[in-house]
Chains A and B, each alone.
Chain A
């Protein structure tokens, strides 16, 4: 035990004596939160629409003003030429081409079905689908306006319309900042755990100081634990810094227990640090380690469900996520922060994460060789 304390003390001295690292540890979470939280959003605003209005009736103008009135869309041009519209899209000048054919107003007037056509730039398929959903909603609104108008003029007293109202639970305003912030916190903690500890270990190999440690009676688990503890604490401090920024800068709601969130993050960090130290035993240089660590981190983060819903991933990906610590913390953070989930609600996640943490740390201790 005393040996571990001496080793931990050494790690802390080294970390805080390094002028760059000691500052970066606190600067990184601040910068990352302030930049990423507002920037990473799926919210659609100002989607550019070019309209080919061949109809030019009150009905078509009514539809156009309805679109222009929404915050999602911006009428960036009108033209009669399909060629010109296609050119605009090709050069990224517009995202949607809405084609209103010349019988549009006439058909509506005659009570016949009217047809519209929308062409959507689907380079980014998720924003294309979202635009489509929004445009669909606006046209549906417009449609029911017309129907109600028709009913009142035709004198029929009742016409059944199903009206559905919805409410978004846990994030009433569908604020993407609230959705992303818990995820960005996970990325932050992942980066601290994954990069710093592994690089630190490989650096000792490069310089040769690990040799001097290996020739002492230090036990393998003592050395590994001493490498984990400082970064575990730094990761938790950074989580605290990140949360404070979330509160101060974005006024993010915090429904659950802060302690529970730190507990989740602590178990998560042990898992990630274990994996990082395990991987570091395969690397002879910091460059090699960076490459491997970066590769793993990208996979873990993208598969964790930060951007894409976990449930819509293929089965094998969901299976992989059983051993992906990032996926667990992503769920824990969102559940605790936004839903106010209790210890009971996330006990399954915590236990799985705990098992992963024990396994990865054991691998790290096993793989670390004092004798070549």
Chain B
């Protein structure tokens, strides 16, 4: 039996009358690449913010890296990395200054920071950029750097919220190579995405619709179950059961 690093039971998150997460239950195992799929507004970002301790659940049990999300959010934060869809390194700091800042925040020693900065810059072939401001880097490079900084302190889990949004296909491919390497080193990767081809790379995927998880399995099993050849088709069958038009905008009309 593999070790569980994320355990979610009956997670509910409400904002006023709006239920963003409706009774989510799932588990994520150590070293796994777990894909979190869903249409815009399905509740992915809300869930990922709760898992990473940025938001607290309305009800339900959430355990991340062995800690309770409601009461021990700060302990969770020591054990995770997080990269969100909105790019969030400091644009007015250089590449090196950003790495040093986050290394320092996560409590790495001066020598550890120097060593890991070197490895990171070499791996990304970033040496020429080390003293460049983030604002001078192209988006693709920023995203790669952002991901590397999120795993700099070797967390147990890294959360990636639409990490490849707006990035060209070649960079996306390189980005996924980085994800594979990270997972191979034992770090669990929890990733949300819009790109269905990326979903194929995940070990397991869950598909959310209107706040609920409507499917959860390996990409292969899901394709078999829905008798289609790609995750994209699975997604369309699930998220748009009638497959012809988007859901009615107001509940009263349908």
List residues of chain A with CB under 8 Å of any chain B CB. Answer: 2-3, 5-7, 9-10, 13-14, 17-18, 207-209, 211-219, 370-372
Contact = CB atoms under 8 A, between A and B. Distances in A.
A158 B49 CA distance: 95
Interface stretch (B32-40, B52-60, B241-249): B52-60
Given A6-B105, A370-B73, A212 B82 contact: yes
Contacts of A7: 101, 104-105
Interface string B69-103: 00001100110101010111111110001001110
Interface residues of B, number: 29
Interface in B212-235: none
Contact of A211 (B80, B84, B92): B84
A216 B88 CA distance: 13
Leading 9 A-B pairs by shortest Cβ distance: A6-B104, A212-B88, A215-B82, A217-B78, A217-B77, A208-B86, A372-B55, A216-B105, A10-B101
13 contacts: A9-B101, A14-B92, A211-B84, A211-B88, A212-B82, A213-B105, A215-B80, A217-B77, A219-B74, A371-B54, A372-B49, A372-B54, A372-B55
Given A10-B97, A372-B55, A217 B74 contact: yes
A215 B82 CA distance: 7
A216 B102 contact: yes
B106 A13 contact: no
B107 interface: yes
B242 to A, nearest CB: 36
Contact of A2 (B92, B93, B107): B107
Contacts of B88: 207-209, 211-212
A217 B65 CA distance: 14
Nearest to A210: B88
Given A6-B100, A10-B93, A215-B80, 20 more contacts: A3-B105, A6-B105, A10-B90, A10-B97, A13-B93, A14-B93, A18-B92, A209-B90, A211-B54, A211-B88, A212-B88, A215-B52, A215-B54, A215-B82, A216-B105, A217-B78, A217-B107, A218-B105, A371-B54, A371-B55
B53 A215 contact: yes
B104 A2 contact: yes
Contacts of A211: 54, 84, 86, 88
Contacts of B101: 6-7, 9-10
Contacts of B107: 2-3, 217
B76 to A, nearest CB: 9
B187 to A, nearest CB: 16
Select the residue from B78, B88, B89 with max chain A CB neighbours within 10 A: B88
A141 B73 CA distance: 79
B186 to A, nearest CB: 20
Contacts of A13: 92-93, 97
A216 B106 contact: yes
B216 to A, nearest CB: 25
B104 A3 contact: yes
Contacts of B53: 215, 370-371
Contacts of B90: 10, 14, 209
Nearest to B105: A216
A18 B90 CA distance: 13
A17 B94 CA distance: 11
Contacts of A10: 90, 93, 97, 101
A212 B82 CA distance: 7
Select the residue from A215, A371, A372 with max chain B CB neighbours within 10 A: A215
Contacts of B102: 216
A218 B90 CA distance: 16
Contacts of A18: 92
A208 B52 CA distance: 16
A45 B56 CA distance: 66
Contact of B56 (A3, A14, A216, A371): A371
A322 to B, nearest CB: 36
A207 B93 CA distance: 14
A2 B53 CA distance: 23
A17 B92 contact: yes
